[in-house]
Amino acid sequence: MHSFHYQNGSLHCEEVDLNQVADVHGTPAYVYSANTIRDHYRRLDQAMAGVNHGIEYAVKANSNLSVLKLLVEEGSGFDIVSGGELRRVIEAGGDAGKCTFAGVGKTREEIEYALQQGIYCFNAESEEEVAFINQVAGEMGVKAPVAFRVNPNVDAKTHKYISTGKSENKFGVDFVGIEAAYDRAASLPHVTLKGLQMHIGSQLTSLQPFVEAVEKVTPLALSLKSAYGIEFFSIGGGVGIVYDPALESGKPEWWAAQEEEHKPLTIEQYVAGVLPTLEKTGLKILVEPGRYIVGNAGVMLTRCLYEKKGSAKTFRIVDAGMNDLIRPALYQGHHDIVPLNEPRDAAMTQVDVVGPICETGDFFCQNADLPDFSPGEAIALMSAGAYGFVMASNYNSRGLPVEILVDGSDAKVVRPRQSLDDILASEKAVL
């Protein structure tokens, strides 16, 4: 659930009128709900209360310092995939000792920085990487905590770009070779084998792939615990969110009305499905949620500039583009589009909502039946809290959007809108 709803004819985030946000701060703008983030974190933490566990929020989903600070205050650990993300966690008040460092291409500088900061564990993706970590740690006179990421060859049944647990994906060590990899790593003098990690993909809406992966990998975790004394088993993240219908899914009554066989996967169902197997291991269980925590905690606001009626289609051209939110172009990702002014009737209009970028792929929806809105009016693209701003760019020399965090009745700018002067400053300095 989430905290976006119509109130007095205007879309609100918690107690804040988003029409006023758009008027005061301009568009495009990302708006995040602090209470939604807290609620999602607490629900997961409570669901896992029966087992020794740690929540490692996946920073790549949304790395704004104020979002990270909220999660630090909740007691979260962090799953990072770069030295830059580790720096962000530390700047937000987080502890490197509660961070796991994933990713297939860690550099020397990143490994050194993580070791200097006291990283909890490197989740290594290959034997070559572990050998290099061993070398760097030896040169620094320390021992590096390491876990291998195992690729369980389980089909997550999600988009091919966000499936990570099959043997043809670049991630992890093949399941058939993982025990031999641990055996060879155990002989390295400058690493300590600390755990085992897996992650099969993102935006999973079915329980079955999670259960299949956990049941397949748990015996391996037990074997490694016996052989090398590992202390944790990280099962990754990947729990999906409701993109459609996003606005309605914020209400408890919407969830209550869903037929059981069609109800989206809840965090309680997810934990209930995997915990009976995991609790038998006696290991600390780590989870790495990203999208689940922040996806439906954010929207992107954009204003309609023009309506263009062609012979084949009607286009609504808005001031946000694929540089601001690339998911529809990159993943064919769906984002519900709702006017900030509550529709007065159920009439729908078929339109393409497109941006100003000079690319045919610059669209947010095509041939979609939407409530009517006119040039000058603002709309919200729902479910934009994850993989939204973090994937934004300066393509077409466009500035990055403003980010705003709402907490109750308070709306705070947590990253100012980027100006053209900001974009050009470093280049002008060397002219």
Q: Rounded to 5 degrees, what are φ and ψ at 58? A: -80, 105
User: Of the listed 99, 121, 304, 358, which one is catalytic?
Assistant: 358
Q: Which of 390, 321, 318 lies closest to 358, judged by CA?
A: 321
Residue 168 annotated as lining a ligand binding site: no
Instruction: Spell 128-158 as b/e; 16+ CB within 10 A means b.
Output: ebbebbbebbeeeeeebbbbbbbbbbbebeb
Residue 103 annotated as lining a ligand binding site: no
Token pair in block for residue 356 = 């100003």
Strands in 10-61 per DSSP E: 10-13, 16-17, 29-33, 53-58
Pairing of strands 348-354, 314-318: parallel
Residue 105 annotated as lining a ligand binding site: no
Contact 50, 43 (CB under 8 A): no
CB atoms within 10 A of CB 42: 12
Residue 41 annotated as lining a ligand binding site: no
CB atoms within 10 A of CB 317: 17
Residue 270 annotated as lining a ligand binding site: no
Token pair in block for residue 370 = 């939407």
Residue 32 annotated as lining a ligand binding site: no
Residue 331 annotated as lining a ligand binding site: yes
Distance in Å from the first CA to the final CA of the chain = 51
Residue 289 annotated as lining a ligand binding site: yes
DSSP 3-state of 316: strand
Residue 121 annotated to the active site: no
Residue 182 annotated as lining a ligand binding site: no
User: Would you list which residues are annotated within the binding site?
Assistant: 238, 288-291, 327, 331, 359, 387
User: Would you list which residues are annotated within the binding site for substrate?
Assistant: 291, 327, 331, 359, 387
User: Would you list which residues are annotated within the binding site for pyridoxal 5'-phosphate?
Assistant: 238, 288-291, 387
**Positions marked active-site:** 358
